[in-house]
Structure formats: structure tokens, C-alpha cells
Amino acid sequence: MKYNWNQLEAYINEKMKQEHIAGAAVGMMKNDSIIFQKGFGYRDLEAQLPVTPETNFGIASVTKSFTAMAILEMEAKGLLSVDDPVQKFLPEFNLKQVKDMESISIHHLLSHTTGLPPIERKEYLTEFSKHLSYLAELEINMLGKPGEFFSYCNDMFLLLGAIIEKISGKPYHQYMTETYLQTFQMNRSTYYLEELFQMENVSIPYDYNQKAGRLEKVAWPTLGNYEVGGGIRSNVVDLLKYGHVYLNNSYTNKMWNPIHKIGRNSFYGYALNVTPNYAEQYTLVQHGGGQPGVSSNFGFIPEENLFVVVLTNVGGVSAGNLWLAAVHTALGLPLEEKISEEPEYEMTLDEMRKFQGIYSSLEGDRLKIQIEGIQAFAVVEEQKYHLRASAPDTLVMIQNEKLLRFFFNELKQPWAVMYGLRMLVRENEF
């Protein structure tokens, strides 16, 4: 098959200009062969140092798939079952609002379906025992029963690291480094910032300051226990080596079994999103990541043994769109085709008024729906987005096509909204 790399490169360069992306690296592997690998832009703007395929970036939540893989390998060895209660391995795990703690299983941690909403991050906590104490003291309403709702909650996912420590007898990051990073010969990948700072060819993290109109350096986050879901720093060369494991280990297939619907055609599995029947013949498996100075995306098409990685050094940009364009190039699909198209749905302004209000989480996300004149808007981080409806329970942010799917109570009033992968609860005053 002849690939149109020039078209892809032009698309990437244009998107980087539009979204103020300092540097990016893209890599693709089919079967055991690298078919594309290139750096774009700069890892260091001030020194004008270019990105290469070996440049290290944060990968953020792409790390979650490593943790999920470790759990499923332990299951394959008979050391645990994903149906085991979390308390079987962490007896001190307790939430005040849950009467039957045995109802929360490892499966719920892996699939973000425990029922706990996103909560305030405590990145200074570096011991799992202290995080368990934090959770035990938490005063917060649950979204629902385990398995009822999907919502990202990093504080639940990180408990998988505590389970890995308990079973392996080793610190989480040591076990993961020895068992996976070293075994896969991911020689420039690390959980340790101290190790990263000693390396050459490492990106500087940036965020774009909308008010000032410029990219600004940000510090590498010190994640504490959240390294379980976001702590690996890596590069496209190493991450394509990681892709090999999905070719050779049957237990990883469980990671992309559709569990909970998160989009019109997409589902969440275990630390991976899955879109079945994509373009009527493919399974699209992927996961993105975001932190200050980091936007990333990793995934594969199992039918084609195709693996694609995109890493950037700017937070809040659409690495997923770059990833999908790369996938389309490798599959011979139209470059800008979307995963799904949201239909038009007629909704009057009066009908839209019921969504007005502020929706938030203790993790810090805040979304405001407001009506101005004859137009509805979503306001996020002081940015306003025009809204249209695509279903009775779904609004679409027109500029970026992000979905806002609402949940209704028995009075048919919206009490929460799914924004990205997180459920935000409506504040009481609205």
C-alpha cells in the first residue's frame, strides 16, 4: 500500500500552527515494521532544539494501560481475579458513603465505574496507605452504585498500584520498571523525574496562555501516588516497542472489551477506549493523556496490527485528532474523517434553558451553561463555546465538537453532565 505521508505531515504542521503546539512526535508500526516515525517542531523553543522520534515527553494517562496490563497479567497467573473485591487485597479500603464495600471490585477500578466522582487531588501523598486514609475520611456523595455510571476518578484507579505492590512485594514503580519497561527494552522510559532530568533530548513542557497569546514553560508535575495512572515519561520509539505486547499476549484482549458506553459509537474498557465497527471493518482502540505540558495518544487497530503514537509538549491540545489522522493515512481513509458525526437535533431556546447552571467536580473542572440572547454557550476556563443539540440529553460545543451528555433526576432536571471522561455534578444554587 502506498501511504500519503506528505499529506499527513502537512496536516500535522497546520494543526500545530492552529493549536500553538511547540513540538510533537508521531510513530507508526504495522506488524513488526516501523512505517512512519518523525519529530515536528521544537522540544525547546528558546534554544530552537528540534523534536526527534527519541525525544522524551510525558505520556500522562497512556500510563494507565501499563497498570491495567500488569493487573491482567497477574490474573492470567492466578494471583487475582478482576471480580475480586478491592478489600480482599486492601482491607483498609473504605468509603463512608458505601455500605457494602465488597461491592467495589478490581473490575470497577479498571473501568472507572466505582461510583466515586472526581475528587481533589493530593499529589503530595506518596504512600498508598496515606491515600487510603484520605479516602476513608472523604465526605462526598457517590454518583451511584458500582457499575452504574462511568466517570474518571484517578484516586480510585491508583489503588491498582497498591494492589500490585501488595501482590508483588515491591514498590509499584520498581515492579513496573523491572517487569515492563526493562523487559520491553524501553530504555529511555522512566517513572522517575530524577532520571528524566539526567537524560538528553527531553522536551520542555509548555501551556498556551490565551490572554498573553504565548506559550509558557510549566514544571513537570510531581504526581505522588497518581503516577499509577500518569507517571511514565517516554518517546514514540519506546512506545512502539510497547505495542508489540498487544500482538503477543492474549490476556491483553480483555482490555478493550466494551464495558461502558462513553460516546455515540465508543466504549471504555480497561484503561482503553474502543470504537467497534469503525469504518465498517475496524476496531479502533486508543487512550489519550493530558497534564500540564503534555497531550498524548496511543492506540492500535488489532485487525491490521497497526500501532500509532502521538506525543506533544503542550497541554490541552488535540493529540487525539493528530492520532486519528495518522491512523487514517495508514488505513487509506479520508484524512479528516471523524470517529462519529453528531446529528442535528431541533431544540428550542426554552428547552435549552433547563441545562443552565454550573457543573463541577472537586478535582477542579468547572463548566457553565448559559443563555445569552438567542444563543446557548458553554464556558470553560473563561473560553466560550457555542452550543447546539444533537439529542434530547446531549449538547455539542460547536467549535471543537466536544459532547456534553446530561443525566436527569426523577423530576426530569439535569443533575450531572459528562464532560470529556468525567461526570460533573450540578451545583445546588442552580
Whether the predicted pLDDT of 407 surpasses 50: yes
C-alpha cell recorded at residue 27: 510513530
Q: Last residue of a domain, which of 277, 306, 341?
A: 341
The rounded mean pLDDT for the chain is 95
Q: Last residue of a domain, which of 292, 309, 341?
A: 341
Flag the least confident range among 84-93, 126-135, 288-297, 329-338: 329-338
- pLDDT of amino acid 429: 45
Length, in residues, of the chain: 430
Whether the predicted pLDDT of 430 surpasses 70: no
Q: Are residues 178 and 326 in the same domain?
A: yes
Tell me which residue range forms the domain holding 362. 349-426
Q: What is the pLDDT of residues 185-232, one digit of tens each?
A: 999 999 999 999 999 999 999 999 988 999 999 999 999 999 999 999
Spatial CB neighbours of 200, under 8 Å, sequence gap ≥ 6 = none
H, E, C per residue of 187-248: CCCECCHHHHHCCCCECCCEEEECCCCEEEECCCCCCHHHHHHHCCEECHHHHHHHHCHHHH
Work out the average pLDDT over 408-414.
93
Q: Are residues 315 and 416 in the same domain?
A: no
Percentage of residues of the chain with pLDDT beyond 70: 100
pLDDT band at 383 (very low <50, low <70, confident <90, very high): confident
- pLDDT of amino acid 55: 98
- pLDDT of amino acid 81: 98
Work out the average pLDDT over 65-82.
98
In terms of phi and psi (left: phi > 0; alpha: psi -120 to 50; beta: otherwise), the region of 305 is: left
Name the helix (H) or strand (E) containing 170. Answer: none
Q: Is-contact 147 137, C-beta < 8 A?
A: no
CA 21 to chain centre: 19
pLDDT band at 425 (very low <50, low <70, confident <90, very high): very high
Q: Is-contact 332 56, C-beta < 8 A?
A: no
Whether the predicted pLDDT of 264 surpasses 90: no
Q: What is the pLDDT of residues 319-366, one digit of tens each?
A: 999 999 999 999 999 987 777 778 899 998 889 999 999 999 999 999
Choice between 307 and 337, residue whose per-residue pLDDT is larger: 307
Residue 344 CA to residue 402 CA, distance in Å, equals: 14
pLDDT band at 130 (very low <50, low <70, confident <90, very high): very high
**Cα→Cα distances 400→146, 209, 317, 365, 393, Å:** 32, 18, 11, 18, 18
Q: Are residues 240 and 337 in the same domain?
A: yes
Q: Are residues 248 and 397 in the same domain?
A: no
What total of structural domains would you count in the chain?
A: 2
Work out the average pLDDT over 264-293.
95
Q: Are residues 235 and 358 in the same domain?
A: no
- pLDDT of amino acid 349: 87
Flag the least confident range among 6-15, 338-347, 372-381: 338-347
Q: What is the CATH number of the domain that holds 203?
A: 3.40.710.10
Residue 249 CA to residue 378 CA, distance in Å, equals: 43
Residue 77 CA to residue 374 CA, distance in Å, equals: 60
Choice between 208 and 429, residue whose per-residue pLDDT is larger: 208
- pLDDT of amino acid 309: 98
- pLDDT of amino acid 235: 98
Q: Are residues 109 and 135 in the same domain?
A: yes
Q: What is the pTM of this model?
A: 0.95
- pLDDT of amino acid 9: 97
Q: Are residues 236 and 261 in the same domain?
A: yes
Q: Last residue of a domain, which of 307, 341, 375?
A: 341
Work out the average pLDDT over 243-252.
87
Work out the average pLDDT over 224-252.
94
Q: Are residues 337 and 356 in the same domain?
A: no
Q: Are residues 207 and 85 in the same domain?
A: yes
Q: Are residues 409 and 294 in the same domain?
A: no
Q: Are residues 330 and 365 in the same domain?
A: no
The residue type at 239: L
Q: What is the pLDDT of residues 154-163, one digit of tens each?
A: 999 999 999 9
Q: Are residues 109 and 19 in the same domain?
A: yes
Whether the predicted pLDDT of 86 surpasses 60: yes
